[in-house]
Amino acid sequence: MTATLQRDRHRDRAARANKSGFSFARVGAMVLRHWYLLRSSWPRLLEIVYWPAVNLLTWGLVQTYVQQHSGFFANAAGLIIGAMLLSDVLIRGQQGFSFAFLEELWSRNIGNLMMSPLRPSELLASLMVVSLIRLAIGMIPVSLVAIALFDFNIWGLGGVLALFFLNLILTGWSVGIVIAGVLLRQGMAAESFAWTVIFAVVPITCVYYPVATLPSFLQPVAWSLPPTYVFEGMRAALIGHQFRSDLMLDAFLINLVLMGIATVGFYWLLNSARRQGSLLSTGE
Amino acid sequence: MSAEAAITVEALTKIYGQTRAVDGVSFTVPLGATVGLLGGNGAGKTTTIGMIMGLIQPDGGKISVLGAAMPAARSRVLHRMNFESPYVDMPHRLTVRQNLTVFGRLYGVDGVADRIRQLAEDFALTDLLDRPAGRLSAGQKTRVALAKALINDPDVLLLDEPTASLDPDTADWVRSRLETYRHTFGVGILLASHNMPEVERLCDNVIMLKQGRIVDTGSPADLVSRYGRSDMEEVFLDVARGRGEAAHLAGWENG
């Protein structure tokens, strides 16, 4: 009788969660799963901080040298470090999302998840939260090091920084969502996309130089990518000390379109994986 | 469609290229019964289970689980189903307790800590709860996978080779647990297995698959009798080696 009552309680609770459609409790369960993983592995934690730290030291020293020899850079302190930190939000945001998804493939856990009540939308939402946690672990210490070593305080951008961050992370997630779909469809053969795809985007988004620097045929491509607006906006803030709300709005609108396309693409690839039976064999 | 059916499958078909992996398969798993899905490698067992679970999209036919059409209405019943399969694993770095906690929460289990404690006692996992899943032996992993499969007290259980890597003593013990669970809660179990003594012990009914088609069905005792054999092992070999029809007819005539 006790066992039956316990079972009824499980059912009631699960039925309530299903009635509500999207379940934050299931998203929380997945975030907990990745939190357990991060806690259990110091090499993973170290890796999250390692690359942003190496980038900061490299570009910070380049900036110090250039500032000493260029009046332009002397008047625009932090231009290179700021660009580096913001580009890392884009890169690490996408990679944090993709790596968290890859963890499920590496551990052959994706079948368990796809068979559980977890919905694809909840899986994607949990990956977004995990990417934010990984970004916080990697970027907050590095931003503090930038203050200590290079006298550059990115937090000084205030509310503008939040808009920059929002637009960059949305683009990173869109790329991550498409890569997750490709991984479901193609399996681990597509694993390297998680590392490489974003680096093809970065040069066109004009992280360290104005859009005008690009060849004219590439400039429309650059303006179709939200990070371009963010980096132009950052230069406007650091050089001209002005906030370009028009750039942030354009970036946000393009991000909404990209997120929509990425989500549709993910579901299409997921359905294709179901048709091909590749969810049960996501190995090489 | 019967209200009592745990699983109803009608004319289920899956085609990969030129291969009909599952070809017009129909069967029912009633609540309170264990149905065995038997066949050699490539017979279509895992594909059939994959389609019932919603991991594989059928090319034809219908699947209903607890009255819900799959995969369209899967969100209505997934919290009442669970499975165990050698094709999936659990995160290796997480401890057994952490893994079961995550799955308990995913399935909306009330009182996850108590449920884990209870499952740990049932499956002799208490001493393993704080060990990373990757450091378990194959037999221990199977027990953890079964604990995960029962964490939500499912009404429908899909088991793919549940005792494949267990020693005879542990395998026997697991079978007892499954029997008890089925009788206590009246669940429907679909069991894919190559272990014929296990099939004879656990299954009320057996579906014999070959090249994606059902070649015979019946209770283990009925099949053994009809094929004129002494056990299911011999029946399986008859079917797998194409002697099924001749043996079946011989058994029929002798009977």
Cβ within 8 Å of A, B 207-236: none
Contacts of A107 in chain B (CB under 8 A): 89-92
Whether B152 and A14 lie within 8 Å, measured CB to CB = yes
pLDDT of residue B244: 59
Q: What is the pLDDT of residues A101-153, one digit of tens each?
A: 999 999 989 989 999 999 999 999 999 999 999 999 999 999 999 999 988 89
Number of domains in chain B: 2
**Using 50, 70 and 90 to split pLDDT, how confident is the model at A167?**
very high
Contacts of A113 in chain B (CB under 8 A): 106
Together in a domain, B94 and B140 = yes
Domain region containing A166: 25-280
**Mean pLDDT, 10 residues at a time, chain B of 255 residues:** 77 93 95 93 89 92 94 89 88 95 95 95 92 91 92 94 83 89 92 91 94 93 91 88 61 48
Here the tokens at position A209 are: 């130089």
Domain region containing B237: 220-255
With respect to residue A6, please indicate whether it lies within any of the assigned structural domains: no
Together in a domain, B157 and B229 = no
Mean pLDDT (chain A) is 89
Distance CA A171, CA A165 (A): 10
Q: Is B196 in a helix, a strand, or coil?
A: helix
Interchain contact B19–A (C-beta under 8 A) = no
Together in a domain, B140 and B228 = no
Together in a domain, B49 and B116 = yes
B23 - beta bridge partners? B13
With respect to residue A156, please indicate whether it lies within any of the assigned structural domains: yes
Whether A40 and B101 lie within 8 Å, measured CB to CB = no
Q: ipTM, 2 decimals? A: 0.87
How many helices (H) and strands (E) chain A has is answered by 12, 0
Cβ within 8 Å of A, B 131-190: 132, 148, 152-153, 184-185
How many helices (H) and strands (E) chain B has is answered by 10, 10
Q: Which residue has the tokens 């305080």?
A: A153
Q: What is the DSSP letter of B132?
A: B
Distance CA B255, CA B222 (A): 11
With respect to residue A12, please indicate whether it lies within any of the assigned structural domains: no
CA distance B121 to chain A (A): 14
